[in-house]
Amino acid sequence: MTHIAVVGAGAVGCAIARALVRAGHRVTLIEARADVGAGTSKANTAIWHTGFDAKPGTREAALVARGHRLLDERASDMNWPLERTGAILIAWDADQQGRLDGIVANARAVGYTAIEPLSVDEVYAAEPHLGPGALGGLLVPDEGLLDPWSIVVGLATDAVINGATLLRSAPVTKVTGEPGAYVLTTGAGEVHAQWVVNAAGLSSDAVDRLMGQDGFTITPRRGELIVFDKLARHLVQHVILPVPSATTKGVLISPTVYGNVLLGPTADDLEDRQATGTTELGLTGLLEKGGLILPELLEEEVTATYAGLRAASEHSDYCFEAFPGHRYIRVGGIRSTGISSCLAIAEDVVAQLAESGEIATPLQEPVTQPMPNLAEDRLRPYADPELIARDPAYGDVVCLCERVTLGEVRDSLTSVVPAVDMDGVRRRTRAVAGRCQGFHCGARVTAMMEAYRG
Ligand SMILES: Cc1cc2nc3c(=O)[nH]c(=O)nc-3n(C[C@H](O)[C@H](O)[C@H](O)COP(=O)(O)OP(=O)(O)OC[C@H]3O[C@@H](n4cnc5c(N)ncnc54)[C@H](O)[C@@H]3O)c2cc1C
């Protein structure tokens, strides 16, 4: 049994840890922050990408396409909400209209053939609230919505219940030893491992250097987003995409599985790897663009704003490479599509280890634990009379905006990978994520956190 240290517990690291442990390896998953999924994986646009617009021939193109299918296959066992809303890509001027055929050709080149042209009338029939001026578009029927929060917590939970050790608040600061016998110095003590997998997101270049490599440099690309109230949900049925540019997929409008509407993201290259605040300039620009696409959206209330940092590098593909001689796998620079591709990346990591001769005996009976439901398209605990009859804590609504119950907050604090702070409770339950942003329920959730932490 090979002992593998996975550095970074975002979507990618958690997916890799889960796949490795199920494949029969011994795994330590090491996270710098207090919680899993608290980096880029918590702050993105939550689109379930098909990869139709990825660059043909890249690892990213293949992994997003495969990852899209794998998420679909796992969703029901894991109770992950996926909504196949479809996306509509819209041309707003003659130049963009002229690029639609190229986008169709690109989609076919990466193996996605379900894309189809839409006339102006079809565009407005599909999205009646669009602003004037659309010239035509494309339908991408398999794009959709995902829930990044329960995907990450679900993957981490799966890894742990099947045998992985999870270390949190444990930044890896030094790696010594040699291939096959590494010693990682972490905030939670030393970890001895034969292999290291680097899934450290925005710090994947720094961890690469700790491993004696120097393959790439991360330049964070910030994306700011605006979350509109649930009353805006009727305005949009699909993911509404712009014609992408060379550097960004552009500003989109999308429903969320939680019943809100998102507008964003921006794309700004930065030096600062901590700059996850929003800016007046960014939000003003988004409102201007959003008002042209869906004018009525601007009449709706804003619930929240946030920003995430894409781990962009100088390469136009993921920095995903195995170094068998070094017993090291680099999984860095997973920029704009990593939630969609994470299960495929994990599958590839297992295959690369096997190719390097690290064969293990897969678990005969891996355990699967479905995640609590966070989505609006299925029954939530507060509305489930049978559940409430069994446990009245699910009938006691703590967060009125998001209708989150005492039972759900309790579960988030006592689960296999429990929340350790308010943000962790939010991502496991939706409490404090609603209209009042915790004004009503914050004190009660804080009291519960103190009670369960002892
Ligand atoms: C604005 C925006 C929109 C996006 N939209 C989408 C989308 O719609 N669909 C989609 O599929 N993807 C989307 N993405 C991309 C997606 O969010 C990322 O590709 C994905 O979250 C990357 O996951 P990760 O695990 O590589 O990184 P992270 O989630 O950042 O995880 C890396 C982890 O490593 C930890 N770490 C770092 N250094 C160390 C160390 N030294 N020791 C221990 N731990 C360490 C960090 O604390 C962090 O938790 C978007 C991204 C952004 C920013």
Q: Tens digits of per-residue pLDDT, 404-436?
A: 999 999 999 999 999 999 999 999 999 999 999
Q: How far apart are the first and last CA of the chain?
A: 37
* Ranges of each domain in the chain: 3-44+148-217+315-355, 82-145+219-311, 381-453
Whose CA is closest to atom 27 on ligand 1?
201
pLDDT band, very low/low/confident/very high, at 344 (cuts 50, 70, 90): very high
Check the CA dihedral 425-431-432-434 and report its sign. Answer: positive
pLDDT score of 61 more than 80: yes
Q: How far apart are CA 88 and CA 127, in angstroms?
A: 9
**Could you tell which of 71, 216, 331, 336 is best to mutate to test the pocket of ligand 1, judged by most ligand atoms within 8 Å of the CB?**
336
Q: Strands 3-7 and 26-30: what pairing?
A: parallel
Q: Show the ligand 1 pocket: residues with CB < 6 angstroms.
A: 7-13, 30-33, 38-41, 44-47, 49, 171-172, 199-203, 207, 223, 265, 308-310, 334-340
Q: How far apart are CA 321 and CA 140, in angstroms?
A: 30
pLDDT band, very low/low/confident/very high, at 247 (cuts 50, 70, 90): low
Whose CA is closest to atom 31 on ligand 1?
10
Superfamily of segment(s) 82-145+219-311? D-Amino Acid Oxidase, subunit A, domain 2 (3.30.9.10)
Report which ligand 1 atom has the smallest distance to the Cα of 12. 25
Whose CA is closest to atom 52 on ligand 1?
44
Superfamily of segment(s) 3-44+148-217+315-355? FAD/NAD(P)-binding domain (3.50.50.60)
Report which ligand 1 atom has the smallest distance to the Cα of 202. 30
Q: What are phi and psi of 169, to 5 degrees?
A: 50, 45
**Could you tell which of 248, 339, 343, 345 is best to mutate to test the pocket of ligand 1, judged by most ligand atoms within 8 Å of the CB?**
339
User: What are the residue numbers of the active site?
Assistant: 49
**DSSP characters over 159-192:** HHHTT-EEE-S--EEEEEEETTEEEEEETTEEEE
Beta bridge partners of 182: 177, 193
Sheet with strand 3-7: strands edge to edge: 165-167, 26-30, 3-7, 195-198, 328-332, 319-323
Q: How far apart are CA 420 and CA 443, in angstroms?
A: 16
For ligand 1, the distance from its centroid to the CA atom of residue 12, given in whole angstroms, is 7
Is residue 287 within 8 A of residue 299, CB to CB? The reply is: no
pLDDT band, very low/low/confident/very high, at 453 (cuts 50, 70, 90): confident
pLDDT confidence of residue 245: 76
pLDDT confidence of residue 264: 96
Rounded average pLDDT over 388-413: 97
For ligand 1, the distance from its centroid to the CA atom of residue 342, given in whole angstroms, is 10
Whose CA is closest to atom 35 on ligand 1?
8
**Could you tell which of 14, 29, 30, 44 is best to mutate to test the pocket of ligand 1, judged by most ligand atoms within 8 Å of the CB?**
44
For ligand 1, the distance from its centroid to the CA atom of residue 206, given in whole angstroms, is 15
Whose CA is closest to atom 37 on ligand 1?
200
Q: Is the pTM of this model over 0.85?
A: yes
- Could you tell me the two tokens for 218? 């991360």
For ligand 1, the distance from its centroid to the CA atom of residue 41, given in whole angstroms, is 4
Q: Strands 3-7 and 195-198: what pairing?
A: parallel
Q: What are phi and psi of 270, to 5 degrees?
A: -130, 165
Q: What distance separates the 2 farthest-apart alpha carbons in the chain?
A: 65
Average pLDDT, whole number, for the chain?
96
pLDDT score of 454 more than 70: no
Rounded average pLDDT over 29-57: 97
Q: How far apart are CA 451 and CA 411, in angstroms?
A: 13
For ligand 1, the distance from its centroid to the CA atom of residue 170, given in whole angstroms, is 17
Rounded average pLDDT over 102-131: 98
Q: Which region, left, alpha or beta, applies to residue 402 given φ > 0 means left and ψ of -120 to 50 means alpha?
A: alpha
Q: Give the three-state DSSP class for 194.
A: coil
pLDDT digits (tens, 9 = 90+) for 124-142: 999 999 999 999 999 999 9
pLDDT band, very low/low/confident/very high, at 2 (cuts 50, 70, 90): confident
Place of tokens 């398999």: 142
For ligand 1, the distance from its centroid to the CA atom of residue 69, given in whole angstroms, is 20
Alpha helices (H) along 79-216: 94-98, 100-109, 120-126, 148-161, 204-210
Q: How far apart are CA 142 and CA 48, in angstroms?
A: 8
Whose CA is closest to atom 4 on ligand 1?
44
CA distances from 254 to 63, 245, 379, 404 (A): 23, 19, 22, 23
- Could you tell me the two tokens for 309? 């940092």
